[in-house]
Structure formats: structure tokens, C-alpha cells
Chains A and B, each alone.
Chain A
Amino acid sequence: MTEVEIVRFIYREARLLDEKRWDEWYELFTEDGHYWVPLTRDQPDAEFHTSLAYEDRLLLRLRIERLGRRPPSQHPESWSQHVLQAPEIESHDGEAWLTRTAFHYAEARGDEMQSYTGLVLHHLVEVDGKPRIRLKRVNLLNCEAALPSIQLFL
């Protein structure tokens, strides 16, 4: 994979989320892929420390199916917008790429809008010639703050 392909992939990943194309987004993860939003700065581990979210494909599938049912908390419905800074490739080791992308994320629902910023770290691998996500780690700048419901995907 080239750097251009990697960067395009990261932009596309955010776009799929904002367009609520969650089934396509889900397919971007490897079979052992995870979506992780740590609770503390530099959190080393997700199994023995609480996180805001740490989801394998099963839990992502659950989240997507639930949103598709328009649950109570999705009245009114939430919408997201990611604004990404140009992704940087931090390292490339054999089949694995680590990228770092500063982001701004807004989630709107009814009359309210929440706004977050931070860094997203993608651990990408090549599967059948295409980039796939082994880990998407979202380091929220205010991860330790008291937060309201964040309902969509950062």
C-alpha cells in the first residue's frame, strides 16, 4: 500500500461514519479489530482498566444494529461530523502501519451539539491488498472530563 492509499482510507473511514454507512464501516475492521476510546491519558491497557469504549466486532455489530432500531436515545436522531487534519504515517513495520490524525468531532442532536477534539491512532494492516483496521484508538483531549452521552462513533 502507498501513503496516498493509506491517507485516502482514513478520510474515507470518517466519511462512512458521518454518512451513517455503518455496515460498510464495520467491514473496514479485521476479524480481530478493535475500536478503543481510552478513559485516561496514555492508558496502556483496556482489559484491566475501564475505558469509555473498547469494542470488538461483536460489540460494534451490536452498536450498529441497535442504532438501526432507532432506540429511545435516538429521538431526536444524532448526526456526526469529523474534521480531520492530514494523517501522518508514524511508522511502517512490515505489514503494519501506524498513523496519527488530529481530529475535531461534532455530534449534533436536536437543539444541542457537542464538540470534541483529540488524536486518532490507526493501526492498519493489509488484507487482500486493501488497508484494514486492527485498532482504531481515539485519544480524546478531555477523556477524563465528566461527559454527557456520546452516541455515535468518534
Chain B
Amino acid sequence: MTGYRDDPARIGALVRDDAVHRDAYIDPGIFRIEMERVWARTWIYVGHVSQIPEPEDYLTADIATEPVLMIRQADGGVRAFRNRCAHKGAKLVADRSGNTGRFLRCPYHNWSYRADGSLAAIPLRQGYDGTGLECSEAVRGLRPVATSIYRGLVFARLSEDGPGFDEWFGGALSSIDYMADRSPEGEMEIAGGVLRYMHDSNWKFFVENLNDTMHPMAAHESSAGTAKELWADQPADAPKPMAIEQLVPFAGSYDFFDKMGVRVFENGHSWSGVHFSIHSAYAAVPEYEAAMVGAYGEARAKDILGTVRHNTVYYPSLTIKGAIQTIRVVRPIAVDKTLIESWSFRLKGAPDIFFKRNVTYNRLINSPMSVVGHDDQQCYRLLQEGLAAGGNEWVNLQRDYHPEERGAADLTVNGTSEISMRNQFRVWARLMSTP
């Protein structure tokens, strides 16, 4: 059902304390409003500074379904703009990344721009003499987008109005620190390519699934369960292949995932794996641990290496796995279409095995050919199709619901609680019902 746009109370009523109306996932009108009120007004991940090392290097991304590009400036800074010529509106750069050269030139009529977005030249400019071009939208050049950089991760906010970066993410930012600090130099760089997996389902199913700890033993029984069986006959001291080390923990028990814990923050952010996670039992690398102690001191090194959070959700666009240095970026396309990009970080100064682990994990879990991903994708698709059914308008999110959790700014509970989803919908309802 559409007609939500001018009726904030009706949108607000889509979210109950312990349930959400199915229209949140299947209504195309709701999707458009989400792009304007959730995705344009909050801080969305664009890319990492290591992807644009040189002046005039650029990277593009679609944010809230709008084309955006970020460009490295001559002074080393980073700026972001709408990827649209100020003249007729053609997308200025069509490649996913590259270098603009001295000027960013529109291929259609050769209007050209400097890296700071200002208009540099128009062919046959005298044609505008006396037309009042100086008062036009076009003469102002590329439309800037607010950016904020945290440990090299670049975020953008399309709307001029909205929360500040620190205000939006608050205490949840520590997961990015714990990921970057796994480098003895405290720095990471994007490497090893990007997996781009097209999902035929609503973006929220993916985001919710990241801290849905009740699904692995069901949805991934066929992959992780098989991995566990294939390795079952091996002696305990047999060297474990990386794939087994990474896949088998998905077959963990309900008790394992429950004891892992989940922590939620205001504005929809959360992480599971508060106390331990599926990444806790990877083989130790003594030379690296020594380097970490050398870089950070005994106590901080122990803290960094002992923090192995499962997934952290930076609502709504970025999900990270600090313990293995992969990130999954959410790019909504339509109410039932979402692109998931999975990137790998290399930890500067860390042995190669960490990057090999990262690349292996990314391939095994996040590829369009992943035996784990296939079953997640199938479940999201079944949600998209199943919610076309009427009769029951509500999606139940009631597991471990307690009224005291409402309004909590920072709360840690048992890992199998559906609190992270309720927490996401609380901020969703607030943003969505703000015209």
C-alpha cells in the first residue's frame, strides 16, 4: 500500500516495539521515502582513502540510489560530489574508479570542472553572454556532498541537514578502531578486489541478517554442517585447512551464538560477538603477536587481539568484520534489489597470512558462488516473496524483548536476542516519520 509520504503517523505506525509491518520491506513507496529520509540524511560509506592515493584519483558509488564520486584533492584531502554534470545532467564519470586528469570533462558538451568541483570552462562561452548564467544553478559547478573520514573510511551525507558524524555513530566506532589497530602500524589499505553480489531482495533483510544469530544452524547446516562432517574423521592435531577453520564455526550451537552476546547502540548500530565469535579460534601467529606487543604494549595488544567481534553494523550502509578485516557495503537499488559489495583490507605491517585469511574468507562466504551466500540469498528471497502474503501484516521480532530496552543508548544482552533488529527499526521509524 502506498500513500505514506504525507502521513508521518502512518509510517510511524509501521513499527511496533516487537514487530514491523510487512510494507517496510515490500512497498516501493516506502523504499523511495527510505532513500530520502534514512539514506540521504545519515552517514553512508563511500570508500577508503587507499583507493584514491594520488591527486585527482576518483572513486564512484551510488548512495541512496544517487550517483556520487569522491576525488582526492591536490592538498591530500578528499571531497565528494554528485556525479552529474551541472549543464545537462550527464553522469560525469562512468568508470568505477580512475583519475580525472587536470580537468573533469563531461563527455557530452565538454563542460569541465576542477577537482574541487568548480566550473573551469564552457566551450563557446560567449553564447551565454547576457543570459544571466552567473545566476544559474549550472555555474556553481558540481554539487558537493558532506564527507567525514574515520581511520581512512570515507562516509558521505547527501542531505545538508542531518546528524553530525560522531553524533550518528557514537560508541559504535570502536569496531573500526579495533579493525585498523590490528595493523602494527595502525593502517589498512583496500586490496584483493571486490566481490559484487546482486541480491533480489530488500536491503534490510541483509542488514538484519548480520546479527541474526539464530539462522546459521538452520540456513547454513548444509554448508557448515557438511564441512564439519568432512573434517570429523581427522585427528585432533591434523593441520586444519583455512577453509575448515573458517566454515566449521558457522555450525556452532545455539548456546555458542547465545553466549557470544550482542551489543546495541542508539541510531541502529550494533555488534554481535561481544565476548567471542566464530573468528576466535583461528591459529595464532606468534611473530605477529610479538610485533603487536612492540607497537601497542602488552595490555593494548591483548585487548586488540582479544576483540573478535562477529559483525558490526554501521546503520544503514556498512557492515564490518574487524577480526578478519572484511567489510560488506549495502547499496540499495530498488525495494527488492540490493547490491552487496565485499571488500578486503590488508593490514599494513602484518604477515601475509592475515590477508590470505581475509581473501579466503571473503571468497568462501561473500562470493556469488559461495555455498554459504547461496542459502542466505535464498532466505532473503523467500522473505521478499513470502511477505506478499496478507492475512498477517506483521513480521515478528519478539525474541527476548524487554520493555526496558526502549530508549537505551548502549545495551549488551544475550546473543540470540532479536534486539539488534528492533533497535534498527526504532531509528528507522524516527527518521521515516520526519518529513
Interface residues of A (CB under 8 A from B): 37, 39-40, 43, 47-54, 56, 58-59, 61-63, 65-66, 69, 71-73, 75, 144-151
Given A58-B241, A71-B374, answer yes or no on A50-B344 (Cβ-Cβ < 8 Å): yes
Enumerate 17 A-B pairs (CB-CB under 8 Å) in ascending A order.
A43-B193, A47-B359, A48-B191, A48-B192, A49-B193, A49-B359, A52-B195, A53-B367, A56-B241, A71-B371, A73-B378, A145-B196, A147-B196, A147-B197, A147-B198, A149-B368, A151-B374
- Closest residue of chain A to B342 (Cβ to Cβ) is A50
Contact of B356 among A48, A58, A65, A73 (CB under 8 A): A48
Enumerate chain B residues within 8 angstroms of A66, measured Cβ to Cβ: 222-223, 226, 371
- How many A-B pairs have beta carbons closer than 8 Å: the answer is 106
Enumerate chain B residues within 8 angstroms of A48, measured Cβ to Cβ: 191-192, 352, 355-356, 359
A37, chain B: closest CB distance, angstroms: 6
User: How far, in whole Å, are A144 and B196 apart by their CA atoms in the complex?
Assistant: 8
Given A73-B377, A73-B378, answer yes or no on A150-B193 (Cβ-Cβ < 8 Å): no
- Closest residue of chain A to B198 (Cβ to Cβ) is A146
A48, chain B: closest CB distance, angstroms: 6
Q: Give the total of B residues in contact with A, Cβ under 8 Å.
A: 43
- Whether A62 pairs with B352 at a CB distance below 8 angstroms is no
- Whether B230 pairs with A39 at a CB distance below 8 angstroms is no
Enumerate chain A residues within 8 angstroms of B192, measured Cβ to Cβ: 48-50
Mark interface residues in B367-398 (1 if CB within 8 Å of A CB, else 0). Answer: 11101011101110010000000000000000
- Whether B367 pairs with A52 at a CB distance below 8 angstroms is yes
Enumerate chain A residues within 8 angstroms of B339, measured Cβ to Cβ: 146
Interface of A is mostly: loop
Interface of B is mostly: helix
User: How far, in whole Å, are A151 and B374 apart by their CA atoms in the complex?
Assistant: 7
- Closest residue of chain B to A51 (Cβ to Cβ) is B363
B243 contacts partner chain A, Cβ-Cβ < 8 Å: yes
Enumerate chain B residues within 8 angstroms of A47, measured Cβ to Cβ: 356, 359-360
CB neighbors of A among B235-276 (8 A): 241, 243-244, 247
- Closest residue of chain B to A145 (Cβ to Cβ) is B196
Interface residues of B (CB under 8 A from A): 191-200, 219, 222-223, 226-227, 229-230, 241, 243-244, 247, 339, 342, 344, 352, 355-356, 359-360, 362-364, 367-369, 371, 373-375, 377-379, 382
Contact of A58 among B223, B230, B368, B373 (CB under 8 A): B230
Enumerate chain A residues within 8 angstroms of B196, measured Cβ to Cβ: 144-147
- Whether B223 pairs with A62 at a CB distance below 8 angstroms is yes
B363, B369, B378: most-surrounded residue (chain A CB, <10 A):
B369
- Whether A58 pairs with B243 at a CB distance below 8 angstroms is yes
Enumerate chain A residues within 8 angstroms of B200, measured Cβ to Cβ: 148
Enumerate chain B residues within 8 angstroms of A63, measured Cβ to Cβ: 371
A43, A52, A146: most-surrounded residue (chain B CB, <10 A):
A146
Enumerate chain B residues within 8 angstroms of A51, measured Cβ to Cβ: 363, 367
